[in-house]
Amino acid sequence: MLRVSALILSCLLAAGAQATEPPAPVYGQELQGFDYPYPLKHFEFESQGKSLQMGYMDVPAKGHANGQTLLLMHGKNFCAATWDTSIKALTDAGYRVVAADQVGFCTSSKPENYQYSFQQLATNTHALLASLGIDKVTVLGHSTGGMLATRYALLYPGQVQRLAMVNPIGLEDWKALGVPYRTVDQWFAREAKLTADGIRSYERSTYYAGRWKPEFERWVTMLAGLNQGPGHNLVAWNSALIYDMIFTQPVVYEFKDLKMPTLLLIGDADTTAIGSDIAPPEVKARIGHYNVLGKQAAQVIPHATLVEFPGLGHAPQMEQPEQFHKALLAWLSKN
């Protein structure tokens, strides 16, 4: 009898614990409900016959302003908000910082039909800077934002004074290396099933070399809450279109055409490669090696400086922000 009573009590306690566990947060189609580290503004514009808007932060320099502006471009599984520590480090050093969410991402519009290209996203961003009266920038791009930063620098070489890329994807052409093509419909089916556990597992193994820090959880919640919110289908569909853009529009062949001083900041334990999960074993074995890719890119880009972070993964600015920002600010002060 005592054993049965103990079992019942245990079940009741477990049920009570589950009942008090807060539900996972969900966010609006444009990430409504998620707090950004600095005031969020919106740039409204017309593109492809649609009225769209881009969320962005325009953060002034603190202390003695040096008159220079950095434009920050986020990655595929990131948002402008994930630049929070970089924005603080840069503004503390006297830089004005503009960090925008690209169309299809985060706090920006998720159009039902949109022809995604890096040229289009660059054009959108150029219009944002023009509206702010900014004509000279240093561009800092992370992950997919590195591909966009490259395209932006190629389209607007007179505006981009310096270019910096943090573990940019697109340092190799996966389709040319034998990674199978996923259709947009296949990408959509994949993105529609996104969960917090799946995001966390992927990022831990691919981005952070098997490591995890509690502060990364906020960004998992951000992505999962956006995907599982009321805009679920549009968020997943735009994500699918963006993956197709990334896979089919390589920039690696044009690195040789970059004219401005360029900094590559590479966590050399990164293994990110789009489509590696469906690649044949022999293809998967030879892609996503940033300890090799960073050096190769530095040899091709005319005025390149390579800084490697041994043992760090896809987002060194988030894993070891002090080490990362020391290297970035040192380069900025010399160029």
pLDDT tens digits, 202-213: 999 888 989 999
* Distant-in-sequence, close-in-space partners of 178: CB < 8 Å, separation ≥ 6: 279, 280, 283
CB atoms within 10 A of CB 16: 10
The pair of three-digit structure tokens given for residue 322, joined into one six-digit string: 């002090």
Strands 96-100 and 50-59: antiparallel
The pair of three-digit structure tokens given for residue 96, joined into one six-digit string: 């004005």
| Structural domain boundaries in the chain | 25-334
Residue type, 218: R
The pair of three-digit structure tokens given for residue 294, joined into one six-digit string: 């960073």
The pair of three-digit structure tokens given for residue 98, joined into one six-digit string: 């503009």
Taking alpha carbons only, the member of 177, 121, 129, 127 closest to residue 145 is 121
Across the chain, the runs of DSSP E, i.e. the strands, are: 41-47, 50-59, 69-73, 96-100, 137-142, 160-166, 262-267, 304-309
The pair of three-digit structure tokens given for residue 24, joined into one six-digit string: 């996972």
Report pLDDT for 166. 98
What does the angle CA 181 – CA 187 – CA 190 come to, to the nearest 5 degrees?
125
Alpha-carbon torsion 98, 102, 103, 104, what sign?
A: negative
Is residue 40 within 8 Å of 106, Cβ to Cβ? no
Report pLDDT for 5. 45
CB atoms within 10 A of CB 39: 8
Is residue 300 within 8 Å of 106, Cβ to Cβ? no
Beta bridge mates, 99? 57, 72
Helix, strand, coil fractions of the chain, as percent rounded to 5: 45, 15, 40
Give the span between the Cα atoms of 38 and 277, in whole angstroms.
Answer: 36
Mean pLDDT of the chain: 93
Report pLDDT for 21. 52
Beta bridge mates, 305? 263
Q: In whole angstroms, how far apart are CA 35 and each of 76, 89, 217, 219, 271?
A: 19, 19, 14, 11, 30
What does the angle CA 278 – CA 283 – CA 285 come to, to the nearest 5 degrees?
100
What does the angle CA 242 – CA 248 – CA 249 come to, to the nearest 5 degrees?
85
Report pLDDT for 22. 63
Report pLDDT for 93. 97
CATH of region 25-334? 3.40.50.1820
Give the span between the Cα atoms of 139 and 159, in whole angstroms.
Answer: 10
CB atoms within 10 A of CB 329: 16
Per-residue pLDDT of the chain (335 residues; tens, 9 = 90+): 444 444 444 444 444 444 445 678 999 999 999 999 999 999 999 999 999 999 999 999 998 999 999 999 999 999 999 999 999 999 999 999 999 999 999 999 999 999 999 999 999 999 999 999 999 999 999 999 999 999 999 999 999 999 999 999 999 999 999 999 999 999 999 999 999 999 999 999 888 989 999 999 999 999 999 999 999 999 999 999 999 999 999 999 999 999 999 999 999 999 999 999 999 999 999 999 999 999 999 999 999 999 999 999 999 999 999 999 999 999 999 98
